[in-house]
Amino acid sequence: MMKRYPADPVFFLRVILILLSTKLGTLLICGFICLDTKWPFIHSFSDLDVNKREKILQRWSNTHKSLIPMRVVFVMVKLMCFFIFFSLTNENSENPSWEAIGYDGRRPNDGPVKPRKQRPLDKGVVETEKESDATFMELVKSKGLEVKDSEDGFYDIECDVVIVGSGCGGGVAAAVLASAGHKVVVVEKGHYYVPEDYSLLEGPSLNELYENGGLLSTLDGKITIFAGSTVGGGSAVNWSAAIKTPDDVLDEWAVEKKIPMFGTSDYRSAMEVVCERIGVTQNCKEGFQNNVLRRGCENLGLMVETIPQNASENHYCGSCCYGCKTGDKKGTDSTWLVDAVENRAVIFTGCKAERFVFEENGGRKRCRGVLVTAESSTITRKLRIKARVTVSAAGSLLTPPLMVSSGLTNRHIGRNLHVHPVLLAWGYFPPVPGTPDGKCYEGGIITSLHKVKSAGEPSNRAIVEAASMGPASFAALFPWVSGADMKDNLLKYPRITKLFSLVRDQSSGQVREEGKITYRLNDIDKENMRVGLRQALRILVAAGAEEVGTFRNDGQHIKSKGIKSSDLEEFLDTVTAPGGPKSRVEKWTVYCSAHQMGSCRMGCNEDEGGVDVNGESWEAKGLFICDGSLLPTALGVNPMITIESTAYCVSKKICQALEKGKFSD
């Protein structure tokens, strides 16, 4: 776990822990609280009584602006301790704390899963993490590819199109291009899993299926970032929300941003094709949290919408964020990539793209493929995949660093990153008559949505949806104010509903180097998020919550059963969108993001975007982008359908160009 944190904070934490193990170090860091009138007069941190240690941690959490580093230490220790405590399991996949807090990590609908004779992608998958030099070349040849052991130390593989990434963008592009008769190779750094492989255990699932094991954040620690990193990418771990691109967003992109594709019937047809292929349905069964959201909205007279899902109407697993154990959710790993493999595409897993291969032509570069490193230590040579067309679909966090490391210099590459930042609210519903049935980790994750608008304004200020959190993630993010308070709230975990306020951010960030993400919220987004958070709290109260609160570090909450409207509004006036752990304020919070987009956006010219209106690089012929980084602005809703539809249109244009012989040079 420590390896996933940036080196500088980890080094600082090590120094602090070493100092705390000594008496003088504890005196230096903690002050007079470690002094005693009796021998030995000075105590090390571990020798202090629990009450004093608790006071020290409280002081670090609420520290003065001059001692922000100690707050960072507090955040790291809190995250690691709670996450490990609630995610660590024994050989039987059990954790004794789960029974104490009423959590069943196995889910009621698992049942025995029979191993299948052949997995859907077996015909075309090369799992390099399982191979060696002795087996690699023969396996690749058996998949129908030409491979040579070159004299300069590479395995040379030839194809028509190479795609980096297998998520919402890459999976669709692979299917479209392979079905047109082109030889397609997909490079994926994650591994291939099928439903019977998913453990549904929070710790192992985050480690196996998410970028940086689910422990990724902006450099200042303000925003925790969740992004898929497996075959299927985000579509394998997202929350199944299948929302089409809003009309006002399409109009903005087509007219204001001057990108014709988004104003065409072809794009709208693409959305229909996408929805049909991934089995979108309209009326999935709702679970506890979404029932709370719906009930609260109805009691307030607010409009609540049903969110379509890329799963059957009987889908009720509640654990799709750890991979869909039932196999009901239709990610690219079980749809588009299956289509691609049926048309002779080959998927290399456990392979990381290092840089694109360019040929200098005196002016604009010509992209000739990509250099790839296999995860397996027994494959000693790198892969050089040569192609007429190269597609980067590594996602908004990885496509820009790959382009920058390859030498591309357009100023928009790695900038304009939008993340749909969210703030969380919570409400506790005792299991008594009159409150919704169920537990927070059961049922469809996102099936209801409320749009927060200002009177007379057509656009949303924010949207309110339900959030999925296992006990480890919940404990790591939930505000700690004391040991007793934390225990009390964790005992309520199964009946705590988490709602979030999400904004279509005008703010933006940068990601030009892998894992180094910066982002700064502007005042407009902060205010919209605050308005959404206040509305989420109203909804929880209206649904019958006994107690509601935010995730601010001071444990901001109020007893809400039977509360007067004036008292509630007085509490809501104290709700803000505060800074992050490194901000120089006493009250802070941690934001979250599960949607990243716009970091290599389309533009009508080089001054407006990193690629052109067809998704092709301005600087390198034959290099296309086909993921969320293409989107011109933030979207404002869950982006799966938009990314897949955009990828569908871009890949269709690539097919047309290939048919015309544009990339035959």
What Cα–Cα distance (Å) separates residue 89 from each residue in 94, 101, 199? Answer: 5, 15, 12
Predicted confidence at residue 318, as pLDDT, reads 87
pLDDT band at residue 520 under the 50/70/90 scheme: very high
Looking at residues 432-447, what average pLDDT do you find?
92
Q: Let me know if 191 is a catalytic residue.
A: no
Tens of pLDDT, residue by residue over 297-330, are: 999 999 999 999 999 998 888 899 999 999 999 9
* Cα 101 to Cα 91: distance, rounded to the nearest angstrom: 20
* Cα 14 to Cα 161: distance, rounded to the nearest angstrom: 47
Helices and strands of the chain, counted as H and E runs = 18, 24
The token pair at 506 is 């005008």
* Cα 518 to Cα 417: distance, rounded to the nearest angstrom: 9
Contact 145, 185 (CB under 8 A): yes
More confident residue, 609 or 458: 609
Enclosing H/E stretch for 392: strand 389-392
Q: For residue 145, what are the contacts with CB-CB under 8 A and spacing of at least 6? A: 157, 158, 159, 183, 185, 346
Q: For residue 436, what are the contacts with CB-CB under 8 A and spacing of at least 6? A: 288, 291, 292, 295, 429, 543
Enclosing H/E stretch for 542: helix 523-542
* Cα 346 to Cα 344: distance, rounded to the nearest angstrom: 6
Closest by CA position to 486, among listed 498, 475, 473 = 475
458 CB-contact burial (10 Å; exposed 0-12 / middle 13-18 / buried 19+): exposed
Enclosing H/E stretch for 23: helix 23-30
Predicted confidence at residue 573, as pLDDT, reads 97
The residue assigned the tokens 């090390």 is 44
Q: For residue 562, what are the contacts with CB-CB under 8 A and spacing of at least 6? A: none
The token pair at 58 is 């409280």
Both ends of the chain: CA-CA distance in Å?
A: 47
Tens of pLDDT, residue by residue over 163-207, are: 999 999 999 999 999 999 999 999 999 999 999 999 999 999 999
Q: For residue 30, what are the contacts with CB-CB under 8 A and spacing of at least 6? A: 20, 45, 56
* Cα 415 to Cα 603: distance, rounded to the nearest angstrom: 13
The token pair at 211 is 């970028």
Mean confidence (pLDDT) of the chain = 95
Closest by CA position to 598, among listed 504, 467, 530 = 504
The token pair at 338 is 């299956």
Enclosing H/E stretch for 273: helix 265-277
- Whether the predicted pLDDT of 217 surpasses 70: yes
What Cα–Cα distance (Å) separates residue 529 from each residue in 290, 444, 454, 578, 638? Answer: 20, 24, 13, 10, 16
* Cα 266 to Cα 272: distance, rounded to the nearest angstrom: 10
The token pair at 662 is 């544009």
- Whether the predicted pLDDT of 106 surpasses 70: no
Contact 468, 460 (CB under 8 A): no
Contact 235, 244 (CB under 8 A): no
Looking at residues 204-211, what average pLDDT do you find?
96
Q: Is the peptide bond before 40 cis (omega within 30 degrees of 0)?
A: yes
Q: For residue 289, what are the contacts with CB-CB under 8 A and spacing of at least 6? A: 440, 443, 466, 467, 497, 498, 499
* Cα 142 to Cα 124: distance, rounded to the nearest angstrom: 9
Predicted confidence at residue 66, as pLDDT, reads 64
Among candidate residues 43, 191, 557, 595, the one labeled active-site is 595
- Whether the predicted pLDDT of 111 surpasses 60: no
Tens of pLDDT, residue by residue over 269-291, are: 999 999 999 999 998 889 999 99
Looking at residues 591-597, what average pLDDT do you find?
98
DSSP 334: G
- Whether the predicted pLDDT of 392 surpasses 50: yes
Tens of pLDDT, residue by residue over 33-63, are: 999 999 989 999 999 999 999 999 999 998 8
What are residue 311's phi and psi, to 5 degrees? -160, 170
Predicted confidence at residue 110, as pLDDT, reads 46
- Whether the predicted pLDDT of 113 surpasses 70: no
Instruction: Using DSSP, state whether 338 is helix, strand or coil.
Output: helix
Contact 201, 362 (CB under 8 A): no
* Cα 326 to Cα 195: distance, rounded to the nearest angstrom: 6
The token pair at 583 is 């901000």
- Whether the predicted pLDDT of 108 surpasses 50: no
Dmax (CA) of the chain: 88
pLDDT band at residue 457 under the 50/70/90 scheme: confident
pLDDT band at residue 455 under the 50/70/90 scheme: confident
- Whether the predicted pLDDT of 9 surpasses 90: no
- Whether the predicted pLDDT of 488 surpasses 70: yes
Contact 131, 123 (CB under 8 A): no
As a residue count, the chain comes to 665
The residue assigned the tokens 């304009």 is 416
* Cα 473 to Cα 239: distance, rounded to the nearest angstrom: 16
* Cα 173 to Cα 318: distance, rounded to the nearest angstrom: 29
Closest by CA position to 357, among listed 192, 228, 231, 187 = 187
What are residue 27's phi and psi, to 5 degrees? -60, -40
Predicted confidence at residue 1, as pLDDT, reads 67
What are residue 49's phi and psi, to 5 degrees? -75, 165
The token pair at 505 is 């951010």
- Whether the predicted pLDDT of 387 surpasses 90: yes
Predicted confidence at residue 6, as pLDDT, reads 77
The 10 Å CB-count burial string (b at 16+, else e) for 540-559 is bbbbbbbbbbbbbbbbbbbe
The token pair at 545 is 């919550």
The token pair at 23 is 């008496």
CB atoms within 10 A of CB 367: 27
**pTM to 2 decimal places:** 0.96
> How many Å separate Cα 91 from the centre of its chain?
29
- Whether the predicted pLDDT of 621 surpasses 80: yes
- Whether the predicted pLDDT of 123 surpasses 80: yes
The token pair at 635 is 């979207």
